[in-house]
Structure 1
Amino acid sequence: MDSAELRGALEDAGLSQYQAEAYNTLLQLGSASATELADACAVPTARIYDVLRDLESKDYIETYDQDSLHARARNPEDVLADLRGRAEMLVDAADEIEERWEQPEVDRHKVSIVKRFDTVFDRAAATIRDAEYEVQLSVTVAQFRELRPALQAAVDNGAIVKISIHTPPTERQELPPQSAFEDVATEVRHRELPTPFVALVDRTETCFAPHAGSLNQYGVLVDDYTLTYVFHWYFQTCLWEVWDVVYDGRPDDPPMSYADIRRCVRDIEPLLEAGVGLTVTVEGFATDTGESVSISGTVVDLLYEGMGSTEGSPPLSQLAGQVAISVETDRDVLTVGGWGSVLEEVEATRITIEAIEENSHVLER
């Protein structure tokens, strides 16, 4: 750092132009009379005495009489501590500004629009890592690989993880091997179209960004139950329902867990029609109080629009309205709905088939 840069730094630290000039010169001279100092620097002689008094009050120098007023720089220990403290404060301020710009706090039940994809991606990784019930994720192959540690944490937490992985149609890009999805995904589907980045976590958190080729580059962070439900239907219809399954880690025998009641109904309706008995455990919330509940019993009925009007598994269009199952417990029969339940007694976050009774034989845990 040359003398000009040092003077500039001293001015940034709170000294005036003349004070910085005089102190910088005094550091070079060691000690000098007031008049000698004025001759050696750009401070006018008429101002030098006021400048020296001000520097002494700030503990930068000390003055003494020797036929005339002299000055010398003090041991810079206090000055250095002050400057380094200011530097640390500025670094901390810079870090805080960067963090607040990159990762704006999302108020409860509100939406934040952000500029950088990294902000969306980092928030998604953090929320996925803490997932408890379900993760619905739309990613590129590279994004999937980067999110594997977070996805593994979600699976370890017991979350059901659905991944829509997309590759550009203009590029021959291989999907990861089946082994790459083990322990990090429940089911994976492949979409060969440019697709936004979407992460939906535990029915409340949404992280969204347009695909890389979009003209508009921004990100949306949502912390709201209802708005996330809208993104859920976008995921179901555009990113999930019609695309090929490339990995299925769901078990074939009990216990078999579902976070989506519509998927559950599709799977169990043929079994009920065949007279098979299903024992289930439902975890969720009482719709009237919002309190957590856990019930166990036998599935005795299903309810959805157009029930019985088609053969085989009902299409998603028939399951867009009310969908419910009736569970007979030791005490009574309770209706169980899925995400957004208002008519049922329980909103299920997890439905687990514990046992399948077929031809008097029970397959169970």
Structure 2
Amino acid sequence: MDSTELRDALEDAGLSQYQAEAYTTLLQLGTASATEVADSCAVPTARIYDVLRDLETKGYIETYEQESLQARACDPSVVLDDLRGRASMLEEAADEIEERWDEPEVDQHKLSIVKRFETVIQRAASLIRDAENEVQFAATPEQYETLKPALREALSNGVIVKATLYADSAETLDGAEFDGTATEVRHRTLPTPFVVLIDRTGTCFAPHSHSLNEYGVLVDDYTLTYVFHWYFQTCLWEVWEEVYSVRPADPPLVYSDLRRCIREIEPFLADGAEITARVSGFETETGDAVEVEGRIVGVNYAGAGETEGSPPLSQLAGRVCFTVETSDGGERYTVGGWGAVLEDVEATRITVLERSA
């Protein structure tokens, strides 16, 4: 390191330009008068006394009177300890900045904005592995490949996995690739943002590759995730072609979405079929976990009974519920879906056990 680099380093450590000049000069001269120091460096004579006193206050030099003011560098141990302490602090700061950049503390915030897509996909994989009920996601085939290990683990734990993949042609999506990692897959022909929704509370979002800005949104909130859920349903799921499914056609049929359940059972109910279901969820009044099993004796949504066949999604945008009558005591429970307030139960999983012809 030459003298210029040494002075720059001292300035980075907190010395002024003149202080760094005077100190490096004294290191070379050993002991010198104030005027000799000024003559040997770029510090003006009028400033040299103040500069030397400041250096003495910082512990870099000591001064004494001998006909004129004399100065000499102190034992450098104090200076070295200070510089090495600063270096250690800067290194720790660099590590902390890197950690905060890569792994924002999502659990302390309802919403975090991050700059790197890697952070978003790492968070998504972690949440998918911890999922208990449902994963909905939209991605490219390459992003799907990255998430495969986490999706396989979730599906093996009984989680419902719904995926929408963007590709130019559905022929490029090989159904065998989805075995063991998805319940249903749909094909979207428009560029797809990266969206992952987990168990009604977690969201990971990043714009598609054509976006001008690279950023990600990480959400840990029930209400905000519900907004993303409707975006997923209407823009990324409902209108796109199904290319893979392992859902059976006959009971038992498992649903995580009450609206989808009603769309599929409504034609059978209209024809007089008897349907028995088991509902797992929470009591809306207390928040306690509950399980109800019995016969579905009625459905309620805008225009119920007025549409032949399955009601369109637009008819199910408002209040939607059905009523279950238990077989043991004949009690009746109203069952709502995500965000239920007026019903007795918010369903997180519905299993249609039997369906008569």
Q: Same fold (TM over 0.5)?
A: yes
Q: How many residues align?
A: 351
User: Does the CA-based 8 Å contact 2:23-2:73 persist in structure 1?
Assistant: no
The corresponding residue for 1:363 is: none
1:32 CA drift (Å): 3.0
1:265 and 2:265 are equivalent in the alignment: no
Q: TM-score, normalised by structure 2?
A: 0.77
- Superposition RMSD in Å: 4.1
Residues 144 and 52 (structure 1 numbering): CA distance in 2 closer, same or farther, change over 3 Å? same
Instruction: Report matched runs for 1:1-365 at 5 Å.
Output: 1-28=1-28, 31-34=30-33, 37-43=37-43, 51-61=51-61, 69=70, 71-76=72-77, 78-93=78-93, 120-121=120-121, 123-152=123-152, 154-155=154-155, 158-168=158-168, 174-175=172-173, 177-214=174-211, 222-250=219-247, 256-269=253-266, 275=273, 278-280=276-278, 282-289=279-286, 291-305=287-301, 306-309=303-306, 312-329=309-326, 330-331=328-329, 332-353=331-352, 355-356=353-354
Unaligned runs of 5+ in 2: none
Percent identity, aligned pairs only, is 63
Q: Could you tell me how far apart the structure 1 residues matched to 2:66 and 2:177 are?
A: 82
Q: TM-score, normalised by structure 1?
A: 0.75
Unaligned runs of 5+ in 1: 360-365
1:162-181 CA-partner distances (Å, limit 9, x unpaired): 11111146xx9833x44543
User: Does the CA-based 8 Å contact 1:108-1:224 persist in structure 2?
Assistant: no
1:218-239 CA-partner distances (Å, limit 9, x unpaired): 6555555444333323322222
Q: Could you tell me how far apart the structure 2 residues matched to 1:250 and 1:27 are?
A: 80
Q: Could you tell me how far apart the structure 1 residues matched to 2:232 and 2:49 are?
A: 75
User: Does the CA-based 8 Å contact 1:207-1:219 persist in structure 2?
Assistant: yes
Q: Could you tell me how far apart the structure 1 residues matched to 2:186 and 2:67 are?
A: 91
Q: Could you tell me how far apart the structure 2 residues matched to 1:87 and 1:66 are?
A: 37
User: Does the CA-based 8 Å contact 2:52-2:71 persist in structure 1?
Assistant: no
Q: Could you tell me how far apart the structure 1 residues matched to 2:235 and 2:244 are?
A: 18
- 3-state SS of the aligned residue for 2:197? strand
Is 187-196 or 270-279 further displaced after alignment? 270-279
1:60 CA drift (Å): 3.0
- Aligned AA (1:71): R
1:186 CA drift (Å): 2.2
Residues 159 and 61 (structure 1 numbering): CA distance in 2 closer, same or farther, change over 3 Å? farther
